[in-house]
């Protein structure tokens, strides 16, 4: 069974069972005791989650939090409860901790329950509260999606930073281990040839143009070697800045 469907089923059961409990004249007398027991259980799970996998604890703790909020609202007047604002916060929590669809399902169920309870006694205050729930649901969904996109972008940035650090390391190794030693070897060989031809040029009958060409190569190799050293220092500086 898909995880999203499983979460939706548990949220649905939590809303319906809490409403049935609060609607029962006998069971509703124990709302305070049940709320206290669930609160202790919630904090117990939070304390226990420090030593185990938090993801395995977050789902039941969120269901418990959902039930506590609904108990508080249903037991203090329902749609006219002074704690009605907890439902708005609950939708944001469901959209963030689960998938956004869970916030939509919970909102539809709660609105349907309130309409069925107060259909014949609707007034302006009750209608405003219902519309606030209906309007708050898409806001919670949009907020949760934007929040998840921000987290995803942060993850991508971390991946890019790791790839950049790896590329910088490889570049530094290539410059220090391959590029600069090879250029130094060519530069030394060119310098030796230029010095040798300068001292033996007349005896070997070397055309002056060749000697001048070797000198030009020598000059270019010196410039290239200096540029490689500057590039190496620049990469090291930028790498240190990124780490800070």
Token pair in block for residue 45: 């799970």
Largest CA distance in the chain: 120
Beta-carbon contacts of 73 under 8 Å, excluding residues fewer than 6 positions away, are 81, 83, 84, 86, 87
- Give me the residue label for tokens 């540029």: 227
> Are 141 and 104 in contact, with CB atoms under 8 Å apart?
yes
Q: What is the arithmetic mean of pLDDT over 10-16? A: 87
Token pair in block for residue 58: 């977050």
Q: How many Cα atoms sit within 13 Å of 40 on the Cβ side?
A: 5
Q: How many Cα atoms sit within 13 Å of 193 on the Cβ side?
A: 16
Question: How far is residue 111's CA from residue 116's CA, in Å, rounded to a whole number?
Answer: 9
Eight-state DSSP code of residue 27: G
pLDDT digits (tens, 9 = 90+) for 113-122: 888 887 777 7
- Give me the residue label for tokens 């508080």: 72
Token pair in block for residue 216: 């030009």
For 7-21, 120-134, 181-195, which range has the lowest pLDDT when averaged over its residues? Answer: 181-195
Of the ranges 54-63, 92-101, 157-166, 195-204, the best mean pLDDT one: 92-101
Q: What is the arithmetic mean of pLDDT over 21-48? A: 83
Question: How far is residue 110's CA from residue 102's CA, in Å, rounded to a whole number?
Answer: 12
121-159 in b/e form (b: 16+ CB < 10 A) is eeeeebeebbeebeebbeebbebbeeeeeeeeeeeeeee
Domain map of the chain by residue range?
3-122, 158-243
**What is the separation of C-alpha 243 from the centre of its chain, rounded to a whole number of angstroms?**
20
Report angle CA 127, 131, 136 to the nearest 5 degrees: 150
Question: How far is residue 97's CA from residue 85's CA, in Å, rounded to a whole number?
Answer: 19
Give pTM, 2 decimals. 0.57
- Give me the residue label for tokens 């020598």: 218
pLDDT digits (tens, 9 = 90+) for 191-236: 777 777 667 655 556 666 776 777 777 787 778 778 777 777 776 7
């Amino acid at each position: 069974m898909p995880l999203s469907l499983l979460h939706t089923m548990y949220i649905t059961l939590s809303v319906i069972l809490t409403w049935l409990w609060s609607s029962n004249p006998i069971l509703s007398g124990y709302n305070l005791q049940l709320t206290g027991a669930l609160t202790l259980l919630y904090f117990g799970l939070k304390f226990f989650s420090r030593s185990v996998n938090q993801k395995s604890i977050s789902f039941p703790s969120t269901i418990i939090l959902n039930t506590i909020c609904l108990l508080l609202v249903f037991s203090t007047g329902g749609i006219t409860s002074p704690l009605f604002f907890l439902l708005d916060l609950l939708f944001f929590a469901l959209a963030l901790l689960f998938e956004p669809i869970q916030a939509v399902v919970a909102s539809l169920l709660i609105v349907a329950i309130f309409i069925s309870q107060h259909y014949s006694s609707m007034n302006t205050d009750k209608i405003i509260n219902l519309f606030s729930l209906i309007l708050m649901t898409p806001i919670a969904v949009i907020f949760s999606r934007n929040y998840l996109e921000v987290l995803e972008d942060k993850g991508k940035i971390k991946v890019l930073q790791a790839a950049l650090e790896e590329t910088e390391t490889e570049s530094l190794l290539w410059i220090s281990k391959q590029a600069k030693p090879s250029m130094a070897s060519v530069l030394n060989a060119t310098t030796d040839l230029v010095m040798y031809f300068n001292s033996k040029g007349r005896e070997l009958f070397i055309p002056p143009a060749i000697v001048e060409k070797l000198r030009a190569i020598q000059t270019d190799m010196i410039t290239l070697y200096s540029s490689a050293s500057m590039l190496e220092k620049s990469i090291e500086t930028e790498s240190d800045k990124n780490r800070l």
